[in-house]
């Protein structure tokens, strides 16, 4: 064991400080550990020296949480995530994490600090989903700090983020969906093809507005989802969807006919506008061919349309839920629905829509009864 005079001394504030030397990429450095008692400092020093002997150096250089996570954002996250994800990270770090934890030393960050932050945000009205996103950012950033030997363990791995209650979905019934399509057709709605696609393919609005005619094979009754349109601080941008969301979707014959009429009207409109038209080859565009903002569909068209059709006020995203529930209610296998929706797993689909599926109880009872009766008759 170490003697008090060797490497451990008592500070004027009463704490005990242990000193040791390590080799870092920038040269030899003196490090310190602290304890409320001599024995605590002695134990910490022994652990630190053992780690140093194995080449493990926890070197935070008095770095604060704010300094570290800001650097992590610019040096690591910016080059490894999508632009929209980066902007979400930046917003959470700037507005929530740095104001609360920024001045705290990285080496002194504890699970209790994080749990208290999450509780405070929830009390302040932040939604559980937003707090979970904050937790994911912190966990990812601090995990890198562990790999870089800046801290020994990840405090976020010991914290329980809040559970997110699954949002209620309000899909249309088959009768309501047909009523909506009848109103769209009778009024000659300019977004007729978009609504048909939403109801018959389950595409998200960003996926619909990101479609190009090169993604369409109307002869084969098929389309390919390979991009999505999203609104960012810089305006409308195209981004790549997640791997599971990159998919090929089959089109019903009725939807193909609607798309062909839409393409014809679009070409006629292009000729009318002339040289002012910006041809981006998009399936759905503003008058001059530019990308169409989601809010122009959801707020200016969809909500008034529901009112004219006498239907309940639902979100545009509920058309996607309508697609899924109508298929499952008619006995379509969940795996096919999963692939059409672009879910990462069939479990995700079942977790979301299982209560919309018809009961299998009677079929199961009849099947086992038939199996046992067959067995009995053949005995």
The 3-state DSSP composition of the chain as helix, strand, coil percent (nearest 5) reads 55, 10, 30
User: How high is the pLDDT of residue 198?
Assistant: 96
> How far is 58 from 329, CA to CA, in rounded Å?
57
With H, G, I as helix, E, B as strand and everything else as coil, classify residue 52: helix
Structure tokens at 68: 């570290």
The Cα angle at residue 355 between residues 333 and 243, in degrees rounded to 5: 55
Whether 4 shows a pLDDT value over 50: the answer reads no
Looking at residue 373, its pLDDT comes to: 67
Distances (CA, A) of 171 to 250, 312, 325: 21, 10, 7
Residue 51 buriedness (CB in 10 A; 0-12 / 13-18 / 19+): middle
Q: Tell me: the pLDDT tens digits for 279-297?
A: 999 999 998 999 999 998 9
17, 28 Cβ separation under 8 angstroms:
no
Banded pLDDT at 58 (limits 50, 70, 90):
low
Instruction: Enumerate the β-bridge partners of residue 232.
Output: 235
Collapsing DSSP to helix, strand or coil, 10 comes out as strand
Tokens for 42, please give them. 């002695």
How far apart (Å, rounded) are the C-alpha atoms in residues 142 and 106? 9
pLDDT given at position 235: 83
What is the distance between the alpha carbons of residues 100 and 281, in angstroms, rounded to a whole number? Answer: 46
**Rounded Cα distance, 329 and 283, in Å:** 31
Tokens found for residue 69:
């996570």
Q: Which of 14-18, 142-146, 282-286 has the lowest mean pLDDT?
A: 14-18
CA atoms within 13 A on the CB side of 125: 0
Q: Is the per-residue pLDDT at 2 higher than 50?
A: no
Could you give the percent of the chain with pLDDT greater than 70? 88
pLDDT greater than 50 at residue 185: yes
Strands 8-10, 16-24: parallel, antiparallel or unpaired by DSSP?
antiparallel
Handedness of CA 168, 173, 177, 183 (dihedral sign): negative
139, 118 Cβ separation under 8 angstroms:
no
What are the pLDDT digits (tens) for 213-241?
999 999 999 999 999 998 876 788 888 88
CA dihedral for 82, 83, 89, 93, sign (positive or negative): positive
What is the value of pTM for the model shown? 0.69
The helix or strand, by DSSP H or E, that contains position 21, with its residue range, turns out to be strand 16-24
Predicted pLDDT of residue 378: 47
**Which one has a higher pLDDT value, 90 or 375?**
90
Q: Find where tokens 């009318």 sit.
A: 272
Cβ proximity of 158 and 173 under 8 Å: no
- Listed residue (353, 317, 358, 360) closest to 335, CA to CA: 353
Question: Mean pLDDT across the stretch 78-100?
Answer: 90
Distance CA 226, CA 87 (A): 21
How do residues 112-123 score in pLDDT, each as one tens digit?
999 999 999 999
State the Cα–Cα distance between residues 207 and 200, nearest whole angstrom: 14
In the predicted structure, residue 90 carries a pLDDT above the cut 50: yes
Rounded to the nearest integer, the mean pLDDT of the chain is 86
Reported as a single tens digit per residue, the pLDDT across 252-266 is 999 999 999 999 999
Calpha distance 265→57 (Å, rounded): 67
Contacts of 212 (CB under 8 A, 6+ apart): 227, 280, 281, 282, 283
Lowest-confidence segment of 61-75, 207-221, 257-271, 355-369 by average pLDDT: 355-369
CA distance 59 to 150: 5
Asked if residues 130 and 83 have their Cβ atoms less than 8 Å apart, the reply is no
């Amino acid at each position: 064991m170490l003697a008090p005079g060797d490497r451990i001394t008592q500070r004027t504030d009463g704490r005990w400080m242990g000193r040791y030397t390590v080799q870092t990429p920038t040269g030899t450095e003196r490090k310190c550990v602290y304890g409320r008692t001599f024995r605590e400092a002695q134990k910490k020093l022994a652990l630190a020296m053992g780690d140093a002997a194995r080449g493990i150096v926890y070197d935070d250089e008095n770095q604060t949480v704010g300094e570290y996570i800001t650097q992590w954002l610019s040096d690591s996250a910016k080059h490894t995530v999508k632009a929209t994800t980066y902007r979400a990270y930046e917003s959470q770090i700037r507005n929530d994490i740095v104001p609360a934890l920024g001045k705290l030393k990285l080496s002194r960050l504890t699970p209790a600090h994080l749990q208290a932050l999450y509780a405070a945000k929830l009390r302040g009205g932040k939604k559980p989903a937003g707090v979970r996103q904050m937790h994911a950012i912190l966990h990812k950033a601090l995990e890198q700090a562990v790999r870089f030997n800046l801290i020994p363990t990840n405090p976020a791995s010991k914290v329980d983020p809040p559970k997110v209650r699954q949002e209620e979905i309000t899909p249309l019934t088959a009768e309501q969906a047909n009523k909506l399509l009848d109103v769209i057709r009778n009024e000659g709605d300019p977004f007729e093809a978009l609504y048909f696609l939403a109801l018959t393919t389950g595409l998200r609005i960003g996926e619909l507005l990101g479609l190009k005619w090169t993604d369409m094979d109307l002869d084969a009754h098929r389309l390919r989802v390979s991009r999505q349109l999203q609104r960012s601080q810089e305006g409308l941008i195209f981004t790549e969807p997640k791997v599971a969301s990159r998919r090929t979707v089959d089109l019903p014959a009725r939807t193909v006919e609607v798309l062909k009429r839409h393409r014809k009207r679009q070409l006629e409109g292009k000729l009318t506008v002339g040289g002012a038209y910006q041809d981006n080859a998009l399936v759905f565009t503003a008058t001059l061919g530019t990308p169409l903002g989601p809010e122009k569909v959801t707020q200016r068209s969809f909500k008034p349309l529901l009112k004219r059709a006498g239907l309940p006020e639902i979100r545009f995203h509920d058309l996607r839920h309508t697609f899924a529930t109508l298929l499952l209610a008619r006995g379509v296998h969940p795996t096919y629905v999963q692939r059409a929706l672009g879910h990462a797993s069939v479990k995700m689909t079942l977790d979301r829509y299982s209560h919309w599926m018809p009961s299998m109880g009677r079929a199961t009872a009849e099947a086992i009864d038939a199996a046992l009766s067959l067995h009995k008759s053949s005995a």
